[in-house]
A = this chain, B = another copy of it.
Amino acid sequence: MADGASGPIVDTTASPCARLRPLPVAAVRPTDEFWAPRIARNRVATIPSQLAQCKATGRVDNFRRASGKIGGEFQGIYFNDSDVYKWAEAAAWSLATYPDPALEAELDGVVAEIAAAQQPDGYLNTYFMFERAKERFRNLKDMHEIYCAGHLFQAAVAHFRATGKRTLLDVACRLADHLVTQFGPDGRIGACGHEEAEMGLVELFRTTRDARYLDLARRMIEARGQTPAVLGRSPYHQDHAPFAKQRKMTGHAVRHLYLCCGAADVVAETGDAAYLAALDALWHNFTLRQMYITGGAGSRHEGEAFGDDYELPNERAYTETCAAIGSVMWNWRMLLLTGLPQYADVLELALYNAVLPGLSLDGTRYFYENPLADRGGHRRQEWFGCACCPPNVARLLASLPGYLYSIADEGVYVHLYASSEAALTLPTGDTVRLREETDYPWNGEITIHIDEAPDREITLFLRVPFWADEAESQLFLNGDDATNFLTGEPGAYRAVRRLWRAGDIVRLVLPMPVECIESHPHVTSNRGRVALQRGPLVYCIEQADNPNGDAWDLALTDDSTFSTERLEIAGHSVIALRTDGLVRNANAWADALYAPYAPENSEDFSPATLTAIPYYAWANREAGPMQVWIPVVSDQ
**Which residues of A does B touch, CB under 8 Å?**
287-289, 291, 293, 300-302, 307-311, 313-316, 373, 375, 377, 515-525, 527-531, 552-553, 558, 584, 588-589, 591-600, 627, 629, 631-632, 634, 636
Contacts and interface: CB of A to CB of B under 8 A. Distances in A.
B518 A594 contact: yes
23 contacts: A288-B592, A288-B593, A289-B593, A300-B301, A301-B301, A307-B316, A308-B377, A309-B375, A311-B315, A313-B525, A316-B316, A373-B524, A516-B596, A517-B594, A517-B595, A519-B595, A521-B588, A523-B593, A524-B525, A524-B627, A525-B525, A527-B527, A599-B634
A524 B314 contact: yes
A593 B373 CA distance: 19
B524 A315 contact: yes
A48 to B, nearest CB: 34
Contacts of A288: 591-593
A33 to B, nearest CB: 29
B593 A520 contact: yes
Contact of A597 (B289, B517, B592): B517
Given A300-B301, A521-B553, A525-B525, 9 more contacts: A288-B593, A300-B316, A308-B377, A314-B524, A316-B316, A519-B595, A523-B593, A527-B529, A636-B636
B596 A522 contact: no
B314 A632 contact: no
Contacts of A531: 594
Contacts of A558: 599
Contacts of A517: 594-597
Nearest to A523: B593
A552 B309 CA distance: 13
B589 A520 contact: yes
A517 B596 CA distance: 4
A454 B373 CA distance: 61
A627 B525 CA distance: 13
Given A287-B593, A528-B527, A308 B521 contact: no
A522 B308 CA distance: 24
Contacts of A310: 593
Contacts of A530: 597
B552 A522 contact: yes
Contacts of A302: 301-302
A60 B310 CA distance: 44
A593 B375 contact: no
A100 to B, nearest CB: 42
A634 B600 contact: yes
Most buried by B among A516, A521, A553, A558: A521
Nearest to A516: B597
A288 to B, nearest CB: 5
A37 to B, nearest CB: 30
B593 A519 contact: yes
Contacts of A599: 558, 632, 634
A632 B302 CA distance: 31
Contacts of A289: 593
A404 B311 CA distance: 41
B525 A596 contact: no
A375 B288 CA distance: 17
A489 B465 CA distance: 65
Nearest to A373: B524
A349 to B, nearest CB: 10
A597 B518 contact: yes
A375 B530 CA distance: 24
Contacts of A314: 524
A291 to B, nearest CB: 7
A469 to B, nearest CB: 10
Task: List 10 A-B pairs, minimum CB-CB distance, nearest first.
Answer: A528-B528, A516-B597, A518-B597, A530-B597, A301-B302, A527-B528, A302-B302, A558-B599, A525-B525, A288-B593
Contacts of A594: 293, 517-520, 531
A553 B524 CA distance: 11
Contacts of A519: 593-595
A92 B521 CA distance: 49
Contacts of A301: 300-302
A589 to B, nearest CB: 5
